[in-house]
Amino acid sequence: MVKSQHAEAHKSINDALSLILDIQELDMQMIQLMRLKRERKREMENITAIKSDLSHQIKAKEGEVLELKTLIKIGEEELKEIQEKLKELENKQSSVKKVDEFNALSHEMSQVDKQRAAKEQNLSDLMDKLSQEEELLKNIKESLVSTVESSKVLESEIMTRIQEINKEGSLIKVKRDELVAEASPEVFSIYERLLQNKKDRVVVPIENRTCSGCHIQLTAQDENLVRKAERMIFCEHCSRILYWPQADDQDQAGAQGRGRRRRSRQTA
């Protein structure tokens, strides 16, 4: 009686884990898919960042150009005032009679003329600067246009890939939902909690008396418990659920993928 109960338990734990292993493979595919999706999204963000950086550069450069134009306008008005003042002094000088007044005006005129020369130099520098900045602005604008153009193809490729990933993901989810509906709720909830923590396989075979999840050596007693499969056995080092590979897998233990194929063929 006790023996048959054990046999029953043996069967049910292995069956429960067998279903969970199928779910686990789908989850591994899903994790890989989500990783790919994140990479694609990052590529998209990079393109957006490059474009937005160029747009910011354009705005900043337009600001500088506008400021230079304002400075030039003010400078030109100041120059005009200086020129008018110079003309005024010339007129005044032509009408003075006394030598000392004439000399004083000459001195003043030479001062104003120096101001005029300095202002003209200043304006010429500003004009040079303006044409440099306008050239830079033109280059950045061209660069933005070509970036927008060249990234169109890449962006549409990325979008297509993301859509494919989403489609693939929903197919996996459908299959997974079907399996979850059949799974033992108790085993499944333990599995899912472990998966959330590890984002990796959490139901793993014992191989050469070693947990194939964390590769730490187990005791003979642990091994026996797993082999008996009377209840779920967890690796005490990494908390993964351990299972005993099928009889015909044992001589080839180590190749988990191969073991899995054999196991599925058997259950199919």
Both tokens assigned to 162: 């993301």
Shortest spacing between CB 219 and Zn ion, in angstroms: 13
For Zn ion, what does the binding mask look like between residues 211 and 230, x meaning CB under 5 A? Answer: x-xx----------------
Q: Does 206 bind Zn ion (CB under 5 A)?
A: no
Q: Cβ–Cβ contacts within 10 Å for residue 3, how many?
A: 7
Q: Cβ(122)–Cβ(74) under 8 Å?
A: no
Per rule CB under 5 A, is residue 238 in the interface with Zn ion? yes
Specify the residue, 117 or 216, whose C-beta has the smaller distance to Zn ion: 216
Q: Of 213 and 245, which has the nearer Cβ to Zn ion?
A: 213
With contacts defined by CB under 5 A, how many residues of the chain interact with Zn ion? 7
We find the least distance from the C-beta atom of residue 191 to Zn ion, in angstroms, to be: 15
Determine how many CB atoms are found less than 10 A away from the CB of residue 66: 11
Q: Given the rule CB under 5 A, which of 44-52, 133-141, 154-162, 204-212 is the region that contacts Zn ion?
A: 204-212
- Whole-Å CA distances, 230 to 83, 113, 234, 260: 106, 107, 13, 21
Identify which range of 54-62, 126-134, 168-176, 208-216 contacts Zn ion by CB under 5 A: 208-216
- Residues 47/155, Cβ–Cβ less than 8 Å: yes
Least Å from the CB of residue 43 to Zn ion: 36
Given 23, 235, 241, 253, the residue binding Zn ion (CB under 5 A): 235
Q: Which of 237, 250, 261, 266 binds Zn ion (CB under 5 A)?
A: 237
As a three-state string, the secondary structure of 102-161 is: HHHHHHHHHHHHHHHHHHHHHHHHHHHHHHHHHHHHHHHHHHHHHHHHHHHHHHHHHHHH
The residues binding Zn ion (CB under 5 A) are 211, 213-214, 235, 237-238, 240
